[in-house]
């Protein structure tokens, strides 16, 4: 709940931080030795000569309508909105792909670990989990390239087929990047699921369900898993922040033209409107995910239902 209050001050923070950044955007675009009247004209054109609060109001009201202005240095001044619109679907695809992989892997591993508690398989999955947390995702990306793309030639090592052009191509070329992002997250998810399953497994209502004569698979799915899902989904929501961080680096590693590589390019070019827009978009994604997770948790928890 509290998270959602963050939207407006978040935008203000992004704006003010960007204003506090060293360097004059006019000089970085026009060059250090630009003529003063040209600098004046540039400032006026981009509204940089207005008072700060008017600049903020102008920026935020335009941003709310989807207008983030034009880029300063990148691609010679195209509208930021067009860049975002062309990059966002790619990032959304890779991010969701990674999330889906992480959920599938962790459901399998977490369940195995909980059911085999204390045996070899449990130790193995737990070790995998600790290893996964300790592996930087961009390094994992290169290891995957090395083993699965350079030597075996199953997956492309670089580049990305857009999902709008070909779905199978996108699934194939997106697999390694998604796996690199998913592995550390799957590690965290499976540990949480294991702990949650173990916590629920010996509750009285599970014993009641069992004593009523339901099969063990039925009891597991309806009595155990269902109640363990709430902490699991909550953690997935929290981890989306890390997922976005992974997306930024991994997009660079695999040459995926998404929002993350756009933000890195903007950082190199000191393209302030573009960085502001990227930061704001990432903030919006996190806030939207929190909202979705809250809604899912309310649906999952019978006690929280009105």
Partner 1 sequence: MRHGRGTLFLGLGITLVVLFGILAGPFITPFSPEEMDFVNVLTPPDASHWLGTDSFGRDVLSRVLSGGRISLFISACGVAAGAVLGTALGMGAAWRGGTVEAGLMALSDLLFAFSSFVLALFLMVVLGFGLQNVIVAIGLTYLPVFARLARNLTRALMHEPFVQAARLIGLPPWRILAFEILPNILSTLMVQASIGVAFGIVIEAGLSFLGLGVQPPTPSLGVILADGREYFQRAPWVLTLAGAAVSVMLLGLNLLGDGLRDLADPRLRRAAGP
Interface with partner 1 by CB under 8 A: which residues? 2-3, 5-6, 9-10, 13-14, 17-18, 20-22, 117-118, 122, 126, 130-131, 133-136, 138-139, 142-143, 145-146, 150, 194-195, 198-199, 240-246, 248-249, 252, 263-264, 266-268, 270, 275, 279, 282-283, 286-287, 290
What is the secondary structure of 137-187 as a DSSP string? HHHHHHHHIIIIIISS-SS-SS----TTT-HHHHHHHTHHHHHHHHHHHHH
Name, in order, each residue with C-beta under 8 angstroms of 197's C-beta and a sequence gap of 6 or more. 110, 111, 114, 224, 225, 228
Q: Which is nearer to partner 1, 94 or 279 (CB)?
A: 279
Closest contact distance (angstroms) between CB of 214 and partner 1 is: 25
Nearest to 25 by CA among 264, 266, 262: 266
Residue closer to partner 1 by CB (options 134, 165) is: 134
Shortest separation between residue 241's beta carbon and partner 1, angstroms: 4
Shortest separation between residue 218's beta carbon and partner 1, angstroms: 25
User: Measured between alpha carbons, how far is 235 from 106 in angstroms, rounded to an integer?
Assistant: 12
Query: Which of these, 236, 145, 252, 253, lies nearest to 182 by C-alpha position?
Result: 236
Cβ 244 vs Cβ 185: under 8 Å: no
Least distance between partner 1 and beta carbon 207 (Å)? 19
Q: How far is the CB of 160 from partner 1 (least distance, A)?
A: 18
Nearer to partner 1 (CB atom), residue 38 or residue 131:
131
Closest CB to partner 1 among residues 17, 85: 17
Residues in contact with 212: Cβ distance below 8 Å, sequence separation at least 6, in sequence order: none
Sequence-separated (6 or more) residues with CB below 8 Å from residue 155: 148, 149, 172, 173, 175, 176
Q: Whose Cβ is closer to partner 1: residue 160's or residue 272's?
A: 272
**Closest distance to partner 1 from the beta carbon of 23 (Å):** 8
For partner 1, the closer of residues 11 and 170 by Cβ is: 11
């Amino acid at each position: 709940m509290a998270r959602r209050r963050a939207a407006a001050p978040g935008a203000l923070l992004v704006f003010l931080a960007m204003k506090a950044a060293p360097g004059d955007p006019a000089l970085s675009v026009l060059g250090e030795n630009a003529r003063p009247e040209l600098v004046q004209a540039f400032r006026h054109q981009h509204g940089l000569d207005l008072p700060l609060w008017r600049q903020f109001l102008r920026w935020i009201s335009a941003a709310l309508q989807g207008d983030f202005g034009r880029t300063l240095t990148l691609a010679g001044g195209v509208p930021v909105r067009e860049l975002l619109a062309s990059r966002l679907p790619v990032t959304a695809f890779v991010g969701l792909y990674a999330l889906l992989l992480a959920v599938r892997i962790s459901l399998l591993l977490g369940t195995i670990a909980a059911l085999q508690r204390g045996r070899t398989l449990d130790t193995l999955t737990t070790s995998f989990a600790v290893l996964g947390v300790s592996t930087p995702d961009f390094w994992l990306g290169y290891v995957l390239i090395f083993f699965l793309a350079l030597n075996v030639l199953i997956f492309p090592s670089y580049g990305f087929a857009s999902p709008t052009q070909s779905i199978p191509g996108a699934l194939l070329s997106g697999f390694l990047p998604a796996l690199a992002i998913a592995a550390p997250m799957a590690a965290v998810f499976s540990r949480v699921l294991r702990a949650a399953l173990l916590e629920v497994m010996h509750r009285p209502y599970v014993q009641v369900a069992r004593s009523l004569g339901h099969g063990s698979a039925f009891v597991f799915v309806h009595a155990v898993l269902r109640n363990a899902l709430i902490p699991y989904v909550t953690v997935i929501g929290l981890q989306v922040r890390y997922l976005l961080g992974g997306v930024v680096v991994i997009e660079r590693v695999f040459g995926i033209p998404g929002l993350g590589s756009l933000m890195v390019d903007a950082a190199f070019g000191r393209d302030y409107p573009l960085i502001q827009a990227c930061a704001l978009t990432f903030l919006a994604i996190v806030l939207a995910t929190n909202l979705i997770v809250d809604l899912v948790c309310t649906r999952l928890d019978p006690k929280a239902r009105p």
